[in-house]
Structure 1
Amino acid sequence: MGYKVVVVGATGNVGREMLNILAERQFPVDEIAALASRKSLGTEVSFGETTLKTKDLDTFDFAGWDIALFAIGSGPTKTYAPKAAAAGCVVIDNSSLYRYEPDIPLVVPEVNPEAVDGYAKRNIIANPNCSTAQMVVALKPLHDRARIKRVVVSTYQSVSGAGKEGMDELWDQTKGMYVPGQEKAPEKFTKQIAFNVIPHIDVFMEDGSTKEEWKMVAETKKIVDPKIKLTATCVRVPVFVGHSEAINIEFEEFLDEDEARDILREAPGVMVVDKREDGGYVTPVECVGDFATFISRVRQDSTIDNGLNLWCVSDNLRKGAALNAVQIAETLGKRCLNKG
């Protein structure tokens, strides 16, 4: 016996990826519905070999459905997620709306699968920020071995993290560099993104950090350990898909780089590619379409007593969003719903 699953926001980048991953991982689906706003009503989307026509989110009745994967942003989620939850459908939400509420689980299944058990308080589970998700998959097994004190992370985040508009702007600006008369001024981003990097993701906060940087701090504490100190600099780069992170970790205990590499090789969801030679590391282009979080450039940090550096790359539309949501659904099914 399988599940009745709803994908909300099925015409967007993440919604389409959710449908792809549900099919690829053979999630036990008895019935599936693809929902979108009224302006996208009837748009066709793919689910494996099946073509689905989107239904109207505004009039959809969630009663009798088991799981709803939401990929529509915080505004609409605030309206529709409580309706789905009240109808008995468990919401797995990709927006930031519920991540920081204490009675809603924030889950990365490789890291804190037991947190799923708290779903019944409000029938909602939150998916973390894309940059946080891949990082904590790498941090958790190392934390279990040597206890992390402090993390310094710099991110190199692709434009797909800003949605279709971000991808279109990079494409249009790149064309405009070579085709006279097709120059494209910044609209989605604050400055030109083609052939440039922008140290600004989300809004600025009073302390000078951005909301994206704050998210990484708050979410790491909630998912892994509230005692971890973390500081982040989040940067948008002219890459279509795939987030990269340079991570510096200070531990309470010494952890040798070779042991760290061995630990990461055995960690769920992690793939280590770390050869000290030309090309012996993973870049964003190579991770697109893959489920794994890739780790390269593992090395000792000689400037502190117990430090390591590493390079972390993942497909942000997958592990950073759609894949993690589907993995939450899988974990929910195994631990709590007992159907598939």
Structure 2
Amino acid sequence: MTTIISRATWGAKAWNGTPATVALSRRTEFFVHYDGGHPITRTGYAIMRAIEAQHIGQGWAGVGYNFVVDQAGNVYEGRGWGLQGAHCPDHNTSGIGVQIAIGGDQEPTAAALASCRALYEEACKKTGKKLAKKGHKDGFATACPGGRLYAWVKAGMPAGAYQPAPAPGGSIPGGSGAVVSRTQVTINGLAYGYGAKGDHVTKVGEALVAAGFGKHYTSGPGPVWTDADTLNYQTFQKSLGYSGADADGVPGETSLRELLGTLPGKVAAKPKPPFPGRDKFGPGKSNGSVTLLGQQLVRKGYGKHYTSGPGPEWSEADRRGVEAFQRAQGWTGSGADGYPGPETWSLLFA
């Protein structure tokens, strides 16, 4: 059975209205979609939140796809098995719509294709029939799902022997009871996180061991990112002062540079100041980090709220500038509260 990340887990909003229910017996088609003309750069739960914001903005009840599959092979619940989708006119009842989260000419990964195929097989089992394999353009005049995915659908949706990746938050094999993130990020063209492969993964593991954060390895470290790498990296993140979602064991640019001294990859990263901590920002705070933040907001084009400065004393102009920057990343709600965290800081100084 395919592991599906629930709406509650990825942080879906309440439905904007109530989607109609659809009996599985009415499903006859399986539609594959993509995100359109532009490549997807978001990862993890941010993919779903961006789709949700777009679809609610269009007046829909929420995410219109029944499921979404990311490049790491994770499967996210949208409308799920039992609700009517909003993905292909005249086919939302008969069709189960699945978006593979790529756009433009992005190449779908083997993990993504395998998970999509696994969803198809499960859909056939649940409905008791062989569903027709279709691309979005087979039901509606559109370029979706793009040339690469459409060719894959027409070839029969082959997935080879690849096994879909476990979902984020799964239990570590061996009964430790710990819960770890199983997502990936891409930094300078290199993948980090569960299932990532390469010499750069070995170098991260070796650096963790050298820094005293290797206790979860029973062998290696090696060239494939495992739960042990995630747990060791999480301990390293916590040593830097990160907590909560910022210490999930999946590298960010700032922590990776702290560990390695520089960022490997296709593009050399410019040096940037380390995140000084959340306690440096907010009402009543006055320090050099506030000045540095404001100056960078101005450089990036988010300084219109300043009437003077920026300066060392935190002001509403600082908060509104940070909020505008966060919203430009596609963040909403508490993700765009105007107070910088490690991810906001990293992206602002990128």
The TM-score normalised by the length of structure 1 is 0.27
Point out the structure with max Rg over C-alpha.
2
| Structure in which a larger fraction of residues adopt strand | 1
Higher relative contact order structure (alpha carbons within 8 Å, sequence separation ≥ 6): 1
The TM-score normalised by the length of structure 2 is 0.26
